[in-house]
Structures are given as structure tokens and as C-alpha cells.
Amino acid sequence: MNPSEKDQLRGALEQRRETLAQELSRDTVRVRENVEDGAVPDLSRDDAELHDIEAALRRLDDGSYGLCTDCGVEIGVERLHAEPEAARCIECQRRHEKTYRR
């Protein structure tokens, strides 16, 4: 992956992080306001995505971004463009999902 692609992916990650942070902030306020109504949105998915984005940004900083955290193989650029926070190659992700199905 060339430096230009990394910069583009960093930009996508930072933009998504900002959007998620704003959504979580807004939803947290709504939760506080509507606790009595029982209409409490589930914030766990957004929180988990934000965590994954932060981890991807740390990997960009330490130079390990784009390498599968399980097997060390380079993650395809196409996968990273589709899911910039991806930490695993396709095969390891499939194995992970099969093993840790909810």
C-alpha cells in the first residue's frame, strides 16, 4: 500500500470517527432524556465501531496498519477501502466470525 492510499484511508477513518463521536454524543443525550420512556437506543454497535476505528488509527501510527492481526498477511487494499478499520484478512475474519458467532 502506497503512502497516498494510507493517507486516504486515514482520512476516511478520521471522518468516520468524528461522525460516530457526534452520533454517540447525541444518542447519549437522548438516552438521558428518555430513560423514563423506555426508548433507550443501543449504543454498543457504534461504540464498538469507534473502538475499531481508534485501533486502526493506532496501527497506522505504529506501522502495522494493513497487516492481519491474526496471521500477519497483508490485508487487500480493496478490503481496506470497503472497511478501513479491518484488522483481519478475509480468511481470518471468516474464521473469527465462525468461532465467535453470537
Q: What is the pTM of this model?
A: 0.82
Reported as a single tens digit per residue, the pLDDT across 18-72 is: 999 998 888 777 666 665 555 556 678 888 999 999 999 999 999 999 999 999 9
Query: Whole-angstrom Cα distance, residue 88 to residue 61?
Result: 17
The gap between the terminal CA atoms of the chain, to the nearest Å, is: 33
Q: Is 3 exposed, middle or buried (0-12, 13-18, 19+ CB in 10 A)?
A: exposed
> Among 86, 66, 51, 68, which Cα is nearest to 7's?
66
Cβ atoms 75, 6 nearer than 8 A: no
> Among 2, 21, 6, which Cα is nearest to 81's?
6
The domains found in the chain, sorted by start residue, are: 3-99 (1.20.120.910)
